[in-house]
């Protein structure tokens, strides 16, 4: 090892590469899961149980993403001298490997940047976040495969080989390198734990760096969109409000608030788990969707379309697949933690189902359509 | 596998590499197809500009700044160097991931929603960074000699001697 700082050693690069590989894999897989649930495919029926599965997959997406920021920057630092190697390519394979770095590094930076900006609700970029984040992930993972093809043997050798034994000795440079890696680990750890605080309720006091706290909001629960913001205040408070159960049913229902209240006989402890990663458990009381479907005489169905008083935007409705619609804990909730639902939490009734992304827990429900 | 001139190992580029490259190209093509196929949402031209900007800002601004900071820290006297470097790495990370709270307009997107960015992020930085710097620096302040005399300091003196000598 000549020149550069002790951190700029293949062993440091390899160690960071392994950490980053794990974080990116977790992030990619959990991101795909979230997409599969929100854009259902014929070959996958997302189950209603285990209740907290989505909470953990999406929490893992958030934490692995934010932890990747220091890991990626540190890894790029360890190889920064290589950017200027001359000649730029030693042959076709080397040229392919280096060209793949453009989508790999550019895609990684873009994914982490847009992901971070999204959780902070800051949109300086003109493209739509979700769609672009999704397709950029595929491009980046493709480039990562090329990179792994070239670097996996190299990294393995750097970590295990005879050269590693010599380089991993007790000399001061190795000590400096270990210190660098430990520091990056601490930096990633601090950020990761703080974001974990917006997912794991007992750690919520640590969520100082995160854009959400799981206890900040009306009734001690965060709100993604307020009633005012989506202009449903009037419709939600209208005394003429009726919940409709329609579609493939023998007896369509039109239920006012008092009639819903009379049927609100089930309590369930269920989390709100946002696609942005934060989550919090709460106690809900409401009318089981299953009971409403039975009362309406639902005919055999594949799914239930839930529509909101909110007419526009991604929150205007959602689809309950059969396992979710039939789960005894899937409620049209009227109470949250023992008090009537706050307007911003979806008064008069909101959907709350186990293992369901927050974006699909439709608020201000006006109808259930059985299909 | 052979060693490069700078001592870093070089890949052998066997059949494994070309298989991975082919698989990677397929996956990238799928991603590119999706990106172009949803052009209304992804705005490929703007996307490409942002990708290039991310690369250039990293390679031409961020990375040189890190190298410069590393060089500056290297000028510190022995005992201070490692703890200051560690505290700087942690601080830079924490500040970087919190920057959108200061530069962005997240709260303005939904006036009245108290659960959006509920922390006071200046206070958060102080809360996180004060203990980091205390833990990093306190041992040196308490035992300046012992720390300064160890590895790092000796190395610095060695290097300085070399520079003057050569």
Task: State mean pLDDT over B31-39.
Answer: 98
Q: Is the pLDDT of residue A12 over 50?
A: yes
**CATH number for A52:** 1.20.950
* Number of structural domains found in chain A: 2
A213 belongs to a structural domain: no
Residue B13 lies in a domain: no
Tell me if A59 sits within 8 A of A172, measured CB to CB: no
Q: Where are the alpha helices (DSSP H) in B38-150?
A: 39-42, 44-56, 63-74, 78-103, 121-142, 144-149
CB B7 within 8 A of CB A2: yes
User: Domain for residue B131, yes or no?
Assistant: yes
Using CB atoms, which residue from B27, B58, B90 is nearest to A142? B27
Q: What is the mean pLDDT of residues A41-66?
A: 96
Mutation target to probe the A interface, by most A beta carbons within 10 A, among B58, B85, B99, B152 is B58
Show residues of chain A in contact with B152, CB under 8 Å: 172, 176
- The residue among A277, A39, A24 whose CA lies nearest residue A140 is A24
What's the pLDDT at A168?
52
A106 in reach of chain B (CB within 8 A):
yes
Q: Do B27 and A141 touch (CB under 8 A)?
A: yes
Q: Is the pTM of this model over 0.90?
A: yes
Q: Are residues A291 and A326 located together in one domain of the fold?
A: yes
Flag if A100 and B9 touch (Cβ within 8 Å): no
- What whole-number distance in Å separates Cα of residue A329 and Cα of residue A353? 6
Mean pLDDT in chain A?
94
In a domain, A228, yes or no: yes
Residue A353, min C-alpha distance to chain B (Å): 22
Per residue in A211-227, pLDDT tens?
999 999 999 999 999 99
Alpha-carbon distance of A265 to A236, in angstroms, equals 22
Is the pLDDT at B160 greater than 50? The verdict is: no
Whole-angstrom distance, CA of residue A323 vs CA of residue A51: 12
A164 and A244 assigned to the same domain: no
Average pLDDT score over residue span B61-66: 93
Interface list for A 212-271 with B (CB within 8 A): 212-213, 216-218, 221-223, 225-226, 228-229
Residue with tokens 């897989």: A29
Report residue A165's pLDDT band, with 50, 70 and 90 as the boundaries: low
Compute the half-sphere exposure of residue B8: CA atoms within 13 Å on the CB side of its CA: 22
**Cβ neighbours of A168 in B, within 8 Å:** none
With CB atoms and an 8 Å threshold, state whether B54 touches A110: yes
Considering the domain architecture, whether residues A60 and A185 belong to the same structural domain is answered as yes
* One domain for residues A331 and A304: yes
B42 contacts in A (CB within 8 Å)? 127-128, 131-132, 135
Residue A2 reports pLDDT greater than 70: no
Q: What is the pLDDT of residue A297?
A: 98
Q: What percent of chain A has pLDDT over 70?
A: 96
Q: Work out the minimum CA distance from B160 to partner chain A, whole angstroms.
A: 15
For tokens 């792994």, the residue is: A148
Instruction: Dump pLDDT digits (tens) for A86-142.
Output: 899 999 999 999 999 999 999 999 999 999 999 999 999 999 999 999 999 999 999
Give the domain extent around A311.
218-370
The C-alpha atoms of residue A59 and residue A279 are separated, in whole angstroms, by 8
Residue A173 has pLDDT above 70, yes or no: yes
| Lowest mean pLDDT, pick from B2-16, B40-54, B119-133 | B2-16
The β-bridge partners of A266 are A286
Say yes or no: A172 and A243 in one domain: no
Report CB contact under 8 Å: A191, B25. Answer: no
Residue B128 has its nearest CB partner, among A70, A81, A209, at: A209
Is there a single domain that holds both residue A174 and residue A229? no
Tokens of B117: 């960015």
Residue B163 has pLDDT above 50, yes or no: no
Which residues span the domain enclosing B128? 73-104+118-145
More confident: A358 or B148: A358
Q: Is the pLDDT of residue B161 over 50?
A: no
| Cβ contacts of B95 on chain A, cutoff 8 Å | none
How does pLDDT run across A246-277, given as a tens digit for each residue?
999 999 999 999 999 999 999 999 999 999 99
What CA–CA distance (Å, rounded) separates A9 from B6?
Answer: 10
Is A230 inside a domain boundary? yes
What's the pLDDT at A354? 98
Interchain CB distance below 8 Å, B21 and A96: yes
Query: Tell me, what's the pLDDT at A6?
Result: 78
* φ, ψ of residue A272 in degrees (nearest 5): -95, 120
Please say which residue of A163, A186, A206 terminates a domain. A206
Whole-number average pLDDT of chain B: 86
End-to-end CA distance of chain A: 67
| Residue from A99, A121, A124, A96 nearest A110 by CA | A124
Distance CA(A359)–CA(A317), nearest Å, equals 9
Band (pLDDT 50/70/90 cuts) for residue A166 is low
Q: How many CB atoms lie within 10 A of CB A247?
A: 18
Within-domain flag for B150:
no
Q: What is the CATH number of the domain that holds A233?
A: 3.90.420.10
Give a yes or no: residue A4 inside a domain: no
Shortest CA distance to B99 belongs to which of B64, B129, B68, B125?
Answer: B125
Is the pLDDT at A4 greater than 80? The verdict is no
pLDDT (0 to 100) of residue B164: 40
- Rounded to two decimals, the ipTM of the complex is 0.94
């Amino acid at each position: 090892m000549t020149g550069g700082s002790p951190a700029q050693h293949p062993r440091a690069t390899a160690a960071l590469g392994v950490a980053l590989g794990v974080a990116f894999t977790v992030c990619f897989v959990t991101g795909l899961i979230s997409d599969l649930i929100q854009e259902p495919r014929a070959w996958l029926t997302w189950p209603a149980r285990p209740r907290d599965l989505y909470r953990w997959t999406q929490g893992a997406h958030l934490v692995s993403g934010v932890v990747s920021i220091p890991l990626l920057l540190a890894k790029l630092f360890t190889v920064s001298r290589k950017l200027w190697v001359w000649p730029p390519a030693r042959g076709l394979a080397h040229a392919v490997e280096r060209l793949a770095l453009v989508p790999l590094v550019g895609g990684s930076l873009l994914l982490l940047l847009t992901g971070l900006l999204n959780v902070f609700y800051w949109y300086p970029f003109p493209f739509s976040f979700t769609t672009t984040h999704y397709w950029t992930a595929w491009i980046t993972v493709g480039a990562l495969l090329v990179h792994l093809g070239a670097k996996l043997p190299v990294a393995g050798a750097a970590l295990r080989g005879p050269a590693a034994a010599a380089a991993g000795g007790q000399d001061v440079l190795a000590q400096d390198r270990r210190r660098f890696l430990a520091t990056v680990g601490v930096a990633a750890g601090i950020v990761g734990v703080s974001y974990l605080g917006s997912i794991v309720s007992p750690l919520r006091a640590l969520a100082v760096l995160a854009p959400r706290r799981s206890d900040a909001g009306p009734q001690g629960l965060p709100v993604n969109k307020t009633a005012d913001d989506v202009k449903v205040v009037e419709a939600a408070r209208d005394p003429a409000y009726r919940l409709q159960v329609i579609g493939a049913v023998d007896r369509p229902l039109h239920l006012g608030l008092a009639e819903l209240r009379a049927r609100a006989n089930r309590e369930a402890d269920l989390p709100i788990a946002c696609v942005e990663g934060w989550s919090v458990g709460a106690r809900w009381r409401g009318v089981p969707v299953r009971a409403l479907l039975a009362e309406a005489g639902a005919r055999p169905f594949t799914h239930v379309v839930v529509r909101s008083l909110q007419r526009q935007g991604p929150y205007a409705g959602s689809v309950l697949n059969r396992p979710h619609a039939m789960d005894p804990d899937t409620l049209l909730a009227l109470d949250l933690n023992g008090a009537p639902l706050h307007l911003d939490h979806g008064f008069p009734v909101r959907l709350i189902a186990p293992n369901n992304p927050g974006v699909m827990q439709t608020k201000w429900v006006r109808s259930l359509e059985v299909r | 596998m052979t060693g490069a001139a700078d001592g870093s190992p070089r890949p052998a580029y066997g059949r494994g590499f070309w298989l991975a490259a082919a698989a990677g190209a397929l996956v990238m093509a799928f991603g590119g197809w999706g990106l172009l196929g949803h052009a209304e949402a992804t705005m490929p031209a703007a996307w490409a500009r942002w990708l290039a900007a991310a690369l250039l800002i990293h390679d031409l601004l961020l990375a040189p700044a890190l190298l410069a900071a590393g060089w500056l820290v290297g000028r510190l006297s022995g005992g201070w160097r490692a703890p200051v470097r560690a505290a700087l790495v942690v601080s830079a990370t924490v500040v970087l991931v919190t920057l959108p709270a200061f530069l962005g307009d997240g709260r303005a997107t939904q006036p009245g929603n108290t659960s959006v960015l509920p922390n006071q992020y200046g206070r958060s930085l102080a809360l996180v960074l004060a203990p980091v710097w205390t833990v990093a620096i306190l041992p040196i302040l308490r035992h300046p000699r012992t720390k300064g005399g160890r590895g790092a300091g000796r190395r610095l003196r060695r290097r300085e001697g070399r520079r003057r000598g050569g």
